[in-house]
Structure 1
Amino acid sequence: MSQIHEKSPQHCAKKKLINIKNHHKKLFYTFTTFILTILILILLVWLILHPTKPEFVLKEANIYQLTLSGSHLLNSSIQITLLSKNPNKKVGIYYDEIQVYASYKGQRITLDSSIPPFYQEHNDNNLLSLVLVANRLPVDPSFGYEMDRGQMAGRLVLNFKTNGQLRWKVGTWVSGRYMLIVNCVVVLPFGPSGPAGPLTSKQGTQCLTTV
């Protein structure tokens, strides 16, 4: 007579619970391995290509108006030309939501001017021309005093600041958005006698770019 081995309900439940746990562990390990593989591939692509931040040069600046109305309301009209360079050999750049304004002694002297979104191929250059204006823009009461000091010193130092976002493009892959900040400093001659025409600078100033 053969011996019959019967498993208790408790034993079966314990075995089933162990199988469920093992199944969950396998799923977790598979998912983790997949995510790590994707991250490693992205990191390798990034390290191999190593995108270099774009370069900007202020090619020209022309100040047509910079006058106070009353003691603290400013009217301004400035035209600038920026040269944008993509130094990467295999990486394109999408520029999004680009805003540019001018400042003097830490004070805004124009409103924001927008540059339409554009795509820049690798090893490509783009000329960006725009006009920055303000009409009765409130400024600090000390603005007129600072302008007088600059005129006595014979020079006017302005900052042109660009804020926006960019995305890298490698093949068909496009990265997420990165903050772009560009700061250009220009020194214009500003003698006591005043200019006969617009204040102009064509010195080709290299700008500081942060990504």
Structure 2
Amino acid sequence: MSEKVCDHHETVRRNRARRWAAALLTFVFVVALVVLIVWAILQPKKPRFTLQDATIFNLNISAANVISATVQVTVSSRNPNARIGVYYDRLSAYATYRSQQISYSTAIPNVYRARTSTCGPPAGAGLHGPLAARRAADGAVNLLVKMNGRVRWKVGSFISGRYHLHVACAAYIPVGNSKNTGIVVGNSVKYQLSQRCSVNV
């Protein structure tokens, strides 16, 4: 008799475990389905960044192939999402030349970009840094402006967790060559670049 009772309890436990497993799988499936539907409706896209211009201050050519200057760049950001807002947190920017950092890292205040909006530089100001590098043969300087930080997505009242943001903007500055298209502004020269940046989230 006791064996039958034990068998009965074992069967009950197995059935209960199966029901829990089925409920868990159903829950996971429903959550995945909801996420898929939301993603299909919202169609989230990465933010876009554009290197708008670069301004050269205090240009000094000390040798035939060496220059020194202070460079200020302006980067604009665009949120291409029609239903999603973007928070930028802990952004910082710096310039590199030939894989070496040549400017201090500049902190950028946190900012929010509403749906489908284009605004000026996330920093509200350009990135400043001294440049001391060899010029290319055609009299141009190739800099790489990098930005690192975090992004959060906002859908209605829901705000996601933070995701890493990496932006790289190639700045080809035609200093002192025949293609020099700079505009003299006081004691500086401003170059309109309008170059798209690569973005990884």
TM bucket normalised to smaller? 0.7 to 0.9
Task: Quote the offset at 1:199 in angstroms.
Answer: 4.3
> Which of 148, 173, 182 is equivalent to 1:163?
148
Q: Secondary structure at the match of 1:153?
A: coil
2:105 paired with 1:112: yes
The question of whether the paired residues in 1 share the 8 Å contact of 2:89 and 2:150 is answered with yes
Kept in 2, the 8 Å contact 1:77–1:131? The answer is no
Letter in 1 for 2:80: P
Q: Measured at CA, do residues 198 and 189 of structure 1 come closer, stay the same or move farther in structure 2, by a change above 3 Å? A: farther
Q: 2:15 aligns with which of 13, 22, 30?
A: 22
Aligned to 2:76: 83
Asked if 2 retains the 8 angstrom alpha-carbon contact of 1:189 and 1:199, the reply is no
Residue identity opposite 1:155 in structure 2: A
SS of structure 2 residue aligned to 1:46:
helix
Which residue identity lines up with residue 99 of structure 2 in the other structure?
Answer: G
Deviations 1:143-202 (A, max 9, x none): 96x51x43x52211211111222122222233333322221122223228xx98434312
Residue of structure 2 aligned with 1:13, choices 6, 23, 34: 6
Return the structure number with greater helix share: 1
Instruction: Determine if contact 2:72/2:129 at 8 Å carries over to the other structure.
Output: no
TM-score under structure 1 normalisation?
0.76
- Of 173, 179, 197, 1:207 maps to 197
**1:108-151 Cα distance to aligned partner (Å, 9 max, x none):** 1101111122211111112123343458xxxxxxx96x51x43x
- Code of the aligned partner of 2:139: G
Q: Over residues 77-119 of structure 1, what are the superposed CA-to-partner deviations in whole Å (9 max), with x where a residue is unaligned?
A: 4322211111111111111221111111221110111112221
CA deviation profile, 1:21-42 (whole Å, cap 9, x unmatched): 2112212211221122112101
Partner Cα separation in structure 1 for residue 58 and residue 77 of structure 2 = 26
Amino acid at match of 1:198: S
Q: TM-score, normalised by structure 2?
A: 0.80
Separation in structure 2 between the aligned mates of residue 181 and residue 18 of structure 1, nearest angstrom: 55
Gaps of 5+ in 1: 1-7, 68-74, 136-142
CA distance in 2, matches of 1:64, 1:21: 77
Structure with higher Rg: it is 1
Identity, % of aligned pairs?
A: 31
Code of the aligned partner of 2:125: L
Judge which range, 200-209 or 37-46, deviates more: 200-209
Q: Residues 163, 76 of structure 1: CA spacing in aligned structure 2 closer, same or farther, 3 A cutoff? A: farther
CA contact (8 A) 1:113 1:132 kept: yes
Q: Which blocks of at least 5 consecutive residues in structure 2 are unaligned?
A: 61-67
Q: RMSD across aligned C-alpha pairs, in angstroms?
A: 2.8
Q: Aligned partners of 2:69 and 2:176: how far apart in 1?
A: 19
Distance 1:65 1:22 in 2: 80
The reply to whether residue 41 of structure 1 matches residue 34 of structure 2 is yes
Work out whether residues 93 and 147 of structure 2, in 8 Å CA contact, stay in contact via their aligned partners in 1.
Answer: yes
Matched, 1:101 2:103: no
Partner of 1:132: 127
- How many residue pairs end up in the alignment? 187
Match of 1:57 among 26, 50, 55: 50
Q: Give distance in 1, aligned partners of 2:150 and 2:10.
A: 51
